[in-house]
Structure 1
Amino acid sequence: MMAADLNLQVWLETGSNTHPNVIIPYVQTPESRTLQYSLHTVKSGKQGRTEMRQAGTVTAQANVATPLVRMSITRQSQDSCHIEIVISDGQVLKKTYSFECPVPA
């Protein structure tokens, strides 16, 4: 039986004091399910523009934080950096999450 909503939590975590900045997007769902994800990162600054795309499938266990990918981003505080994550159930339901890249300390 398919739920009427994906009912997900999605967030970013960063590695402390790492260079380049390590960013890990996580997903958590109240019930175990297989999810498809697509991640698109765009960084722009004095050094130019960089884009990264990645897609895949994860099996998330109920109420367990599941990492999607691990990525490294070298970012200066004046750079513009945006991460968009699209998660779907592989059928009809799809949610989009947008984040600014964390600024290194």
Structure 2
Amino acid sequence: MMAADLNLRVWLGSGADAQAGMIVPYVQSPAHRIIDYRIRVIKQGPSGTSRIAQSGSVDLPAGRPTALTRFSISIGAHDQCQVELLIFSQGIQAGTYRFACASAF
């Protein structure tokens, strides 16, 4: 299966009015489209491993940043945390994006 080239802009941000630890994945598309997404977050540290998984569909208006979801995570000084975002368009994988959780703060 070939990946779709959607020319998406994808990044992590923090909620504008959110508490510390809030992560918001954003997607911006040059053209209107509906995408499906899967998000996996893995945090590892001295206290163990935590996992978050979410999925859904979102309608992306052309040229407008759109938040896919919002979630909160507490990260300690010795924790490692990664967000993996998979995007699909019409059942075809359009991209895999990986971020350190800290890039959102």
Same fold at TM > 0.5: yes
The TM-score bracket by the shorter chain reads 0.7 to 0.9
Structure 1 counterpart of 2:27, one-letter code? V
Aligned residues: 101
Against the structure 1 CA distance between its residues 58 and 25, is the aligned structure 2 distance closer, same or farther, given a 3 Å change threshold? same
Alignment correspondent of 1:55: 55
Paired with 1:103 and 1:8, the residues of 2 have a C-alpha distance of: 19
Alignment correspondent of 1:6: 6
In the TM superposition, what whole-angstrom CA distance separates every residue of 1:24-63 from its partner, at most 9, and x where no partner exists?
0000000000000000000011111000111000000000
Q: C-alpha displacement at 1:78, in angstroms? A: 1.6
Alignment correspondent of 2:40: 40
4+ residue runs over 4 A deviation: none
Q: C-alpha displacement at 1:104, in angstroms? A: 8.5
Against the structure 1 CA distance between its residues 90 and 24, is the aligned structure 2 distance closer, same or farther, given a 3 Å change threshold? same
Q: Percent identity?
A: 37
RMSD: 2.0
Q: C-alpha displacement at 1:94, in angstroms? A: 2.1
The two structures have a TM-score, normalised by structure 2, of: 0.87
Paired with 1:48 and 1:75, the residues of 2 have a C-alpha distance of: 12
Unaligned runs of 5+ in 1: none
- Check conservation: 2:41, 2:52, Cα contact below 8 A: yes
Alignment correspondent of 1:76: 76
For CA contacts below 8 A with separation 6 or more, give which structure has more relative contact order.
Answer: 2
- Check conservation: 1:6, 1:93, Cα contact below 8 A: no
The two structures have a TM-score, normalised by structure 1, of: 0.87
